[in-house]
A and B are shown apart, each in its own frame.
Chain A
Amino acid sequence: MHTFYGYKRQLGLPGVRNWVAVIPSVFCANTVVKRIVQQVEGTVELTHPVGCSQVGLDLELTAKALKGIARHPNFFGVVVVGLGCERFRAQELADSIAATGKPVELIMIQEEGDTQLAISKGVRLAQELVEQAAKQQKEEFPLSELCLGLKCGGTDATSGIAANPALGWVTDQIVAEGGSAMLTEVTELIGAEHVLARRAVTPEVGQKILDTVRKMENKLKIGTAHGDLQNRSALISPGNEDGGVTTVVEKALGGIHKGGTGPITGVLDYGEPLVKHGLYVLDCPGHDGEAVTGLAASGCQVVVFTTGRGTPTGFPGVPVIKITGNTSTFERMKFNLDFNAGEIIDKGLSIAEVGEGLLQTVLETASGVPTKAEIGLHDELFCITRSYGG
């Protein structure tokens, strides 16, 4: 049995980091959040462009994302910063965090007086939370307490034959030991849904997988009817094509290798946390930022991101491990990539041999070894999904 060292939480899975998150309820509070984080070591900022002038499903998605991120186990505590007149209420966010037993502080700029006063108060509150966080010791946890987010981006043909199968091997290992993993990028499951549905634990879950992909495909068709989005070009990039991936279905069939070969326990809605351990499909679009934000909002403590072409991005407070199946990409982007699965292609190593190495990297990362994206201060992936109707 494999183990890792993390931080116990009152509710749910343990954290693999112990940050104090500073989260604006609305973009108007972004600068105050940045100033607080600049002054307090041990804090992480989660600035974003939404939280006001939103209604209906669009507002609901923002609320789900912010609440999900705020209760993420990698955050010891949270400082919420609101303006005061925004549509998404800061108090609602703070209350949802408090319900998990996590320390939370709330600052409203309009109540404090001005941004200088809000920053000053926020710095003091954040400092107190960081001091509390620093006193918490790590504990050993079985692999069953880990939930891995599965993502690919900048796909080339090596992704489907090396990086994704190696990650799939790790997924199978984690799920076999009672842990969890999530596939998402529903826009990029198009054409592979029947393969996933065959692996569902019940016919109902299988039907839900088919419905989730069909709904996403219909949404894309509505988008393209207006000519604002070119469906095909949104799903498969010129880089994918240059890398040898010709069709959306080919990309999807290569992509689902990340989910291994085991049974699929269920489908999660955007922002929905795990209840039972297992392998899930999370309903979220495939854009790198939106997908990793969805995985984090549903509680994945670590994300593994496969990339044939090479991408440097990271998520604030959640380690994103980059792996490539393309040795030439690995050599060129050493500063950004954590693991090379290319030896499956270059040296004929088996998927299990490379998978063992990747599992070790996942366990080390979960136990505190920083990823290249963390060392390089990458935090581009926090991107809340929007609804444009449909």
Chain B
Amino acid sequence: MHTALRMDPRDNVAVVLREVRKGEDVLINLETGVVHLTAQSDIPFGHKISVTNLLVSEPIIKYGEEIGNAKIPIQPGEWVHLQNIYCERGREN
């Protein structure tokens, strides 16, 4: 069984289906077949792992839609959460 699930073919992040430890091999179901990534940090259950290289301000895509943008460059296998993404919507001005 896969360790992480990508919701939509456009997504550049996947959701880990169990807690993942740094250095662990993570299997993700891509349309082209199963891809292996090395987790760059511990990732809690249900959180996001980056599937690709992301540049600063590049959109983060989940469910096939933008959920925010990269605050800093993000490597494949990195935990994607509050520390490295931001979202302009729903914020105080």
Contacts and interface: CB of A to CB of B under 8 A. Distances in A.
Contacts of A326: 46
B80 interface: yes
Interface stretch (A102-110, A111-119, A229-237, A353-361): A229-237
Contacts of A236: 90
Interface residues of B, number: 27
Interface in B58-91: 62-63, 65-68, 80-82, 85-87, 89-91
B37 to A, nearest CB: 17
Interface in A129-147: none
A247 interface: yes
A254 interface: yes
Given A243-B46, A249-B66, A345-B17, A221 B85 contact: no
Given A157-B47, A253-B65, A221 B93 contact: yes
Interface stretch (A76-84, A187-195, A259-267, A367-375): A187-195
B90 A246 contact: no
B44 A191 contact: no
A244 interface: yes
A281 interface: no
A244 B63 contact: no
B12 to A, nearest CB: 13
A154 interface: no
A266 to B, nearest CB: 23
Contacts of B45: 157, 244
Interface in A180-221: 190-192, 195, 217, 220-221
Contacts of A95: none
B15 interface: yes
Given A161-B5, A241-B82, A254-B63, A247 B68 contact: yes
* Interface of A (DSSP majority class): helix
A156 interface: yes
B63 A246 contact: no
B87 A249 contact: yes
A224 B89 CA distance: 13
A348 B17 CA distance: 11
Interface residues of A, number: 35
B15 A157 contact: yes
A289 interface: no
B31 interface: no
Nearest to B1: A348
A224 B65 CA distance: 27
Given A158-B46, A253-B65, A253-B67, A224 B82 contact: no
A231 B86 CA distance: 15
B90 to A, nearest CB: 3
B71 to A, nearest CB: 11
Contacts of A192: 65
B91 A250 contact: no
A242 B44 CA distance: 9
A160 interface: yes
Given A231-B91, A232-B90, A244-B45, A160 B63 contact: yes
Interface in A153-185: 156-158, 160-161
A243 B45 CA distance: 8
A244 B93 contact: no
B92 A246 contact: no
Given A161-B7, A232-B92, A246 B65 contact: no
Nearest to B90: A248
Contacts of A244: 15, 44-48, 81
Given A191-B67, A247-B87, 15 more contacts: A157-B15, A160-B63, A161-B15, A190-B89, A225-B93, A231-B91, A231-B92, A244-B47, A244-B81, A246-B68, A246-B85, A248-B89, A250-B68, A250-B87, A345-B5
Interface of A: 156-158, 160-161, 190-192, 195, 217, 220-221, 224-225, 230-232, 235-236, 241-244, 246-250, 253-254, 257, 308, 326, 345, 348
5 contacts: A190-B89, A244-B45, A249-B66, A250-B62, A253-B62
Q: Which 8 A-B pairs have the closest CB atoms?
A: A157-B46, A248-B90, A247-B87, A244-B46, A250-B67, A244-B47, A224-B92, A253-B63
